[in-house]
A and B are shown apart, each in its own frame.
Chain A
């Protein structure tokens, strides 16, 4: 609909590539700023979770989406950031200081973790990150002098300039951090560093032959990703006000991977979409648990379905909805369905939708199909 005709290199470099996107993002920005005044507290609270998850999503995008390094242990970095916040705030360290400190500390640990990871690829790297996460979880549980182990650790409300932050204040803090992180990551994608990441992801051999120091950039990716997650951990800790090691289990790491799988691995927008989706699942489930049985009973009454089969189906529905593992079931199905049917994630769907609107009525679905690689072995 709007053709990007560029007349100078500087133009291609701008933050907003077209007047149109500038308008949309400005509207979005205004809406986000106005949110605390317009939305009830429950929704605001959910949006804070979305923001925190979006920050982690960006971290996952930097490491896995851009640099192509697998990690199923990111909950460890969230935990380190969170406990950092707990310990620091207890000792009276100001929030801005320990926000940065957590990021730096987690980043350092991420860097150290990235060093041995240099020689690992694919499944070995995944398992190493898994092992790392388990070990960190265990350390947090055992280091009782600092973390109170499995008993848990309470946090005071976040304080800025000596006064506790209101809900709205905390929301703005999270919003600010999210915007900064997204901007930083976006700058990364259109810079030599981001391209180096992309090169490492697609072909390490070629990357090295182009002069890229793969070791340097891989550890940098780990460090950055960890640091960002650590900062998210600080916000997470203050949001929940209570920390215990089991809150950072392997399931949480898997949730983080899900953010980028659902959202689309290759884009930052995907990270945000994925975060929104992940947080929306819980309220959706609660809604379904009430609504579906009602709908089912209503349908049976309306169409006079009295027989044993409809009754059994209804009973089965109730049993599934009330099972404790329902969330796992839904998540598992979502992962599988997304990978099979939406390999490019929600962002891919969004791009296709925009292309459809732009090319209407000449749009062809085949122009956006993902390519499969049957012959190229992925053993590096």
Chain B
């Protein structure tokens, strides 16, 4: 039984087949990267896995459970969290509040308990804060804790995106282009975060990336996608030296 498996996943939007018969599996504790030119269907694939889109055919399996038909909110409950390419943070709230939202699947209080602020609600709230502070420590976001997202620089927002996903307490983390829009230093830092998340926090990482140096640095396995179809699958080196991949994406 593999940790995370995608089988013959296909999605069609009208006449356009965005993802065409894609199958791959991810072992626990790996960093698995998906690369490919723009429009190859990488983010669509992500959206399928995080259940924002419905697949036309195919199957998604996580820890032996068929999760193909689950809703987006249920997927989070199973321990799969994601970041978004174009940053979907809650702009009007502070960093702390954004991270606390990530803790949602860990809260067991019903609405009436929240309104009355029962001792259970209060205890859980303190627990949430504690958990969130751990993530803040790992990603060094202390100085941004109470600032509104709208006032943060882009690089920091990207880190907050990752932090929020971590607060979900995921076993599988989906990172959608974590380095896009970041400069060299920030990309470097991001690479470090990813390795730390993977090795220290024992989170399996599935990510989409364009920055090949980052890909080489962190990935255990790489999948190359083009026009919705798999071009190559293997280690970073194997995929990069694959003739199809060079032709369609990397160039010589």
Contacts and interface: CB of A to CB of B under 8 A. Distances in A.
Interface string B117-151: 10001101110111000000000000000000010
Which of A13, A210, A220, A266 has the most chain B CB atoms inside 10 A of its CB?
A210
A9 interface: yes
Interface stretch (B72-80, B208-216, B238-246): B72-80
B82 to A, nearest CB: 6
Given A196-B104, A202-B93, A191 B121 contact: yes
Interface in B84-140: 84, 88-93, 97, 100-105, 107, 109, 111, 114-117, 121-122, 124-126, 128-130
B104 A191 contact: no
B81 A188 contact: no
B57 interface: no
A211 B104 contact: yes
A209 B101 contact: no
Dominant secondary structure of chain B at its interface with chain A: helix
A210 B102 contact: yes
Contacts of A203: 88-90
A211 B76 CA distance: 5
B52 interface: yes
B221 interface: no
B164 interface: yes
B50 A209 contact: yes
A209 B74 CA distance: 9
Interface in B27-42: none
A210 B109 contact: no
A370 to B, nearest CB: 9
Nearest to B117: A187
A278 B82 CA distance: 45
A199 interface: yes
Interface of A: 9-10, 12-13, 184, 187-188, 190-196, 198-199, 201-203, 205-214, 220, 224, 266, 371
Interface of B: 50, 52, 71-77, 81-82, 84, 88-93, 97, 100-105, 107, 109, 111, 114-117, 121-122, 124-126, 128-130, 150, 164, 168
